[in-house]
């Protein structure tokens, strides 16, 4: 699987790197971006055959937050993929807004635990 992480929190990104090392044989590629704009630029350059299986998107980031990223992503008509919204927010309106967005596959609290990664790996493997 190919993962893209868009999160400005270095410690959370590092934690996810450590977790993914445990299941590395199933994760072919992973990219990390602290800014949504940089992730958008990267995603525009990736061909459909190498597109990430999952984009993990933090909601609360400076310059371009997760909501703005979703708006830009939709406008660009990029390949369809799973977008998992990551947050530390306890605001129930954020969850409602995220789940109402057809591009959002899931909404979870960060950091991601290893069981969730395994769930994604199993779900995607069954669809391929």
User: What pLDDT does 29 receive?
Assistant: 87
Q: How many angstroms separate the CA atoms of 57 and 41, rounded?
A: 15
Place of tokens 């309106």: 93
Give mean pLDDT, residues 8-24.
89
CB 40 within 8 A of CB 72: yes
Going by C-alpha positions, the residue among 34, 43, 91 that lies closest to residue 62 is: 34
Q: Does residue 128 carry a pLDDT above 60?
A: no
Please report the domains of the chain, with CATH numbers, ordered by start residue. Answer: 2-127 (3.40.50.2300)
Give mean pLDDT, residues 49-76.
93
Q: How many angstroms separate the CA atoms of 15 and 123, rounded?
A: 23
Give residues with Cβ within 8 angstroms of 49, minimum separation 6: none
69-110 pLDDT, tens digit per residue, is 999 999 998 888 999 999 998 899 999 999 999 999 999 999
Give mean pLDDT, residues 37-51.
93
Count CB neighbours of 119 within 10 A.
12
Helix (H, G, I), strand (E, B) or coil at 31: strand
Give residues with Cβ within 8 angstroms of 74, minimum separation 6: 103
* Residue positions counted in the chain: 128
Give mean pLDDT, residues 97-124.
90
């Amino acid at each position: 699987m190919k993962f893209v992480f868009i999160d400005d929190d270095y410690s959370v990104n590092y934690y996810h790197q450590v977790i993914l090392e445990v299941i590395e044989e199933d994760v072919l590629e992973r990219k990390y971006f602290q800014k949504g704009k940089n992730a958008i630029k990267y995603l525009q350059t990736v061909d459909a055959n190498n597109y990430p299986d999952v984009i993990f998107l933090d909601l609360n980031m400076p310059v371009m937050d997760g909501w703005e990223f979703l708006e830009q992503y939709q406008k660009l008509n990029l390949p369809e993929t799973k977008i998992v919204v990551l947050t530390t927010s306890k605001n129930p309106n954020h969850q409602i807004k995220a789940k109402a967005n057809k591009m959002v596959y899931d909404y979870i609290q960060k950091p991601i635990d290893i069981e969730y990664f395994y769930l994604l790996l199993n779900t995607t493997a069954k669809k391929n």
